[in-house]
């Protein structure tokens, strides 16, 4: 420990300028981030460009500082003076990690505390989020950067390695635009992303330990390449259904799903479409579905669907779409959106077929309603954090402008939210916009997301509106369970729904 501290002090003395830059950028990050809390009171406080810059500059400053401190005792090579001095590898690695913890993690932690306070959150009640955010950034960014520095000789190699990685990710993204990091998985995205982070973090730890202990640079460069490939390819190869199964195991409640019934929604039959592809390869199918029997007080959201069309002779063809893309869901009203083989469709189009499949559902419940009066009062709201509602304008031709602003610490809660602007008066009760808000959410069980910002903000507005409203009601339903339900749509004659392209 004494040797680690000795090396640490040397690095502090050597890198004072870089440390000063990181501290200044972190202070700017804290200042700009905290000022955003007051933007409705003071328009000058809403410096979006400054905030974006701060969020870019901070990781960049960290990147440079980590590279500089690791390169103070470069590991690859045979000419460094320190390799023939009595350095103990654990002391050297310990000194570097201590340096990162003191000059990267700690200032950022303090900045987060400042920003949280400015937004009205008591930091002592947010310790889980504070530490989780630190852990995620450390595993996903700080350790991998340190590991890459440990197997390179300087900034030229570091930039080259970063450039190669960037090109590979770009190429990968181009080849698999819808698959990279499960980008279209929505709220389940975190499983693929955290898998990649975990692989990157474990790879970084292995590289750092081996490289500091043994200095086997080529072996560790191979480990780095393997970890990068495993992080990218593995994330793509995780089946969505497996991700759902993982999510299901993390459910808050076990819910009996036998009462839930999935059927063809004959009331919305007019929405059914079967569209032969103009090149004849596949046939698009859109069928409205109805989900009944959801337990009382709950709402169901269809997350994905797997299906197959079964002909009268028992011959079946699976839907060609990906599970999370085969459903378009809005509360209990869902639409199956898939594609089947064109030849198969032609052979069964005028026959009675079945559609058999599995529906993947998230059940929301524990409804709570919070009312927020216009006037800027800050009200703790489950599912959205601290919310304030504002009204400007008046009866004039421009009407009123209504605004709801909410801030939650570290992440957007994955709740189902309905924001209702309400008009109340004598003999009048009117709700405006009483449907679920579409928000980017994650079902991750962790208290923080992988994000440099300690607050997540949500805005919605109603503008211009001619009448004076009384308040905003926010209905919040928590995700309780992720369940699957087998279904069978019987007696369908797909040819009945066929539409043809006009042009």
Partner 1 sequence: MSDTLRTIGLKKRFGRTRVLDGLDMAVPEGAIYGLVGPNGAGKSTTIKILMNIYRASRGRAEVFGRDSRKISPRRDLTRIGYVSENQEFPEWMTVGYFMAYLKPFYPAWDDERAEELLRQFELPRDRKLMHLSHGMRMKAALASSLAYRPQLIVLDEPFTGLDSLVRDELIEGLLESAEGATIFISSHDLAEIESFASHVGYLDRGRLQFSEEMSSLIQRFREIEVTLEGPAPRANGWPATWLNVEQSPALVRFVDAQFDAEKSTADVRRVFGEGSAVAVRPMPLRQIFVTLARAGRKAA
- Tell me which residues touch partner 1 (CB under 8 A): 2-3, 6, 10, 14, 72, 74, 77-81, 83-88
Q: At closest approach, how far in Å is the CB of 155 from partner 1?
A: 15
Whole-angstrom distance, CA of residue 385 vs CA of residue 278: 49
Residue 67 C-beta: closest distance to partner 1, Å: 16
Half-sphere CA count of 502, side-chain side, radius 13 A: 0
- Residue with smaller CB distance to partner 1, 85 or 426: 85
Residue among 69 and 448 whose Cβ is closer to partner 1: 69
* Sheet architecture: strand order including 385-393: 379-381, 385-393, 400-409, 455-465
In the bound state with partner 1, the residue whose beta carbon lies nearer, of 82 and 435, is: 82
Return the HEC string of 113-145.
HHHHHHCCCCHHHHHHHHHHHHHHHHHHHHHHH
Please compute, for residue 375, the number of CA atoms within 13 A of its CA located in the half-sphere on the CB side. Answer: 7
Pick 2 or 438: Cβ nearer partner 1: 2
Residues 6+ apart with CB under 8 A from 412: 439, 440, 441, 442, 449, 456, 458
CB of 152 to partner 1, least distance (A): 15
Across the beta sheet with 416-425, the strand order is 316-318, 299-310, 353-373, 471-492, 416-425, 428-432
- The pair of structure tokens assigned to 210 is 């081996």
CB of 64 to partner 1, least distance (A): 16
Nearer to partner 1, 5 or 440 (CB): 5
- Minimum CB distance to partner 1, residue 68 (Å): 11
How far, in Å, CA of 463 to CA of 446, rounded? 36
Residues with Cβ within 8 Å of 459's Cβ and at least 6 positions away in sequence, in order, are 403, 404, 405, 406
Which residues in 389-421 are b (16+ Cβ under 10 Å) and which e? bbbebeeeeebbebbbbbbbbbbbbbbbbbbbb
278 by DSSP, 3-state: which? coil
Q: Which residue number, 159 or 213, has a Cβ lying nearer to partner 1?
A: 213
Q: Is 186 left (phi over 0), alpha (psi -120 to 50) or beta?
A: left
Q: Give me the least distance between CB of 16 and partner 1, in Å please.
A: 11
Between 72 and 332, CB nearer to partner 1: 72
CB 24 to partner 1: min, Å = 21
Q: What tokens were used for 283? A: 């046939």
Closest distance of CB 222 from partner 1, Å:
16
| Residue count (the chain) | 503
CB of 90 to partner 1, least distance (A): 10
Whichever of 8 and 29 has its CB closer to partner 1, that residue is 8
Nearer to partner 1, 16 or 163 (CB): 16
The residue (of 3 and 248) whose beta carbon lies closer to partner 1 is 3
Closest CA to 22 of 107, 127, 136: 107
CB of 76 to partner 1, least distance (A): 12
């Amino acid at each position: 420990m004494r040797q680690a501290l000795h090396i640490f002090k040397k690095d502090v003395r050597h890198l004072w300028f870089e440390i000063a830059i990181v501290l200044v950028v972190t202070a700017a990050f804290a200042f700009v981030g905290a000022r955003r809390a007051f933007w409705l009171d003071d328009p000058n406080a809403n410096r979006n460009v400054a905030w974006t810059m701060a969020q870019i500059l901070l990781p960049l400053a960290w990147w440079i500082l980590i590279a500089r401190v690791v390169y103070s005792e470069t590991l690859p090579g045979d000419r460094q003076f320190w390799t023939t001095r009595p350095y103990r590898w654990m002391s050297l690695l310990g000194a570097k990690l201590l340096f990162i913890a003191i000059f990267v993690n700690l200032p950022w932690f303090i900045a987060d505390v400042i920003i949280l306070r400015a937004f009205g959150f008591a930091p002592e009640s947010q310790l889980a989020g504070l530490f989780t955010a630190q852990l995620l950034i450390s595993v996903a960014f700080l350790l991998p950067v340190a590991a890459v520095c440990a197997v390179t000789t300087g900034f030229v190699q570091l930039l080259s390695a970063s450039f190669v990685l960037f090109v590979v990710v770009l190429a990968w993204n181009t080849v698999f635009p819808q698959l990279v990091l499960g980008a279209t998985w929505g709220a389940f995205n975190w499983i693929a992303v955290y898998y990649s982070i975990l692989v990157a973090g474990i790879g970084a730890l292995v590289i750092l330990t081996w490289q500091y202990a043994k200095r086997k640079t080529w072996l560790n460069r191979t480990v780095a390449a393997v970890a990068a490939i495993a992080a990218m390819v593995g994330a793509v190869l995780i089946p969505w259904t497996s991700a759902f199964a993982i999510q299901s195991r993390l459910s808050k409640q076990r819910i009996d799903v036998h009462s839930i019934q999935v059927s063809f929604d004959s009331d919305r039959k007019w929405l059914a479409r079967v569209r032969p592809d103009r090149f004849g390869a596949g046939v698009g199918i859109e069928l409205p579905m109805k989900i009944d029997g959801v337990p009382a007080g709950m709402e169901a959201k269809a997350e994905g669907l797997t299906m197959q069309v079964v002909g009268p002779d028992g011959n079946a063809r699976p839907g060609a779409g990906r599970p999370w893309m085969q459903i378009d869901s809005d509360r209990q009203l869902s639409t199956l959106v898939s594609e089947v083989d064109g030849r198969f469709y032609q052979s069964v189009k005028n026959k009675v077929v079945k559609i058999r499949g599995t529906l993947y559902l998230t059940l929301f419940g524990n409804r709570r309603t919070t009312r927020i009066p216009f006037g800027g009062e800050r009200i703790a709201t489950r599912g959205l954090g601290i919310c304030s509602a504002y009204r400007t304008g008046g009866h004039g031709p421009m009407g009123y402008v209504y605004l709801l602003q909410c801030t939650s610490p570290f992440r957007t809660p994955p709740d189902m939210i309905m924001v209702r602007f309400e008009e109340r008066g004598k003999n009048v009760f009117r709700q405006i916009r009483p449907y679920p808000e579409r928000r980017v959410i994650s079902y991750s069980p962790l208290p923080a997301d992988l994000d440099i910002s300690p607050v997540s903000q949500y805005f919605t507005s109603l503008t211009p509106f001619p009448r004076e409203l009384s308040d905003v009601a926010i209905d919040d339903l928590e995700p309780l369970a992720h369940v699957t339900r087998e279904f069978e749509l019987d007696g369908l004659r797909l040819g009945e729904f066929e539409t043809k392209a006009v042009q």
